[in-house]
Amino acid sequence: DSGVTQTPKHLITATGQRVTLRCSPRSGDLSVYWYQQSLDQGLQFLIQYYNGEERAKGNILERFSAQQFPDLHSELNLSSLELGDSALYFCASSGNFGQFFGPGTRLTVL
Amino acid sequence: SQQGEEDPQALSIQEGENATMNCSYKTSINNLQWYRQNSGRGLVHLILIRSNEREKHSGRLRVTLDTSKKSSSLLITASRAADTASYFCATVPGTTGANSKLTFGKGITLSVRP
């Protein structure tokens, strides 16, 4: 158990819909990262927040947005979903000894 | 874009044998981390090695780093069937702090036959 929690574990939705994925970092970690894992793109960095502020952005689509709240939990919002958005979405938090990942949310868009 | 390139892409060994996996990267790094992923599940952090370190050990794992060759290797000794998984190397750029985004390789599929 990494100490990073993510909900929900699975999400099945239809094209055009909007979903919210939630993440709580390990106690004491200020940074939260979001990654997407798909068969064709592999593991891709989406966005990083540090203590409530956006720190870095990767190849995140404009239809996707994220935020980190004062209690340091983070949410990733995916809207106007397409079939190609089906993937595993991971959240991670980092400390002095590395970046630790949550169990992921498997998103299926039908 | 993929920073790390693992080699081989797939490895099949007998239980008890050692498994060696290699990772090469293109640009300078702050640190390199190895992860394990069982089929479709979460990423388990195995080990972090910093750019000023050459070797680290954790249980049956040994990681080396050669910054002059921009490469790292992960050795699993006395492998077990439970080591069957995908292994990824991931790098943090040298131009950023230690707590920055990871860039992953495509992964190595390790199969350990009982």
A101 and B CB contact within 8 Å: yes
> In chain A, what's the furthest Cα-to-Cα distance?
40
> In chain B, what's the furthest Cα-to-Cα distance?
44
Position B1 scores a pLDDT of: 46
| Residues of chain A positioned with their CB less than 8 A from the CB of B96 | 56
Question: Measured between CB atoms, which of B2, B41, B101 is closest to A33?
Answer: B101
Q: Find tokens 């920055």 and name the residue.
A: B100
A49 and B CB contact within 8 Å: no
Structure tokens at A66: 């994220």
Tell me the DSSP string of B24-61. Answer: E-SS-EEEEEEEEE-TTSPEEEEEEEETT--EEEETTE
Distance of residue A7 Cα from the nearest chain B Cα, in angstroms: 13
Chain B from 71 to 90: CB within 8 A of any A CB: 88, 90
Distance of residue A79 Cα from the nearest chain B Cα, in angstroms: 24
Quick: pLDDT tens for A49-100. Answer: 999 999 999 989 999 999 999 999 999 999 999 999 999 999 999 988 899 9
B50 and A CB contact within 8 Å: no
Distance of residue A103 Cα from the nearest chain B Cα, in angstroms: 4
- Give me the sign of the Cα torsion angle A99, B38, B63, B107: negative
Classify each residue of B23-41 as buried b or exposed e, where b means 16 or more C-beta atoms within 10 Å of its C-beta.
Answer: bbbeeebbbbbbbbbeeee
Quick: pLDDT tens for B50-88. Answer: 999 999 999 999 999 999 999 999 999 999 999 999 999
Classify each residue of A68-90 as buried b or exposed e, where b means 16 or more C-beta atoms within 10 Å of its C-beta.
Answer: beeebebbbebeebeeebbbbbb
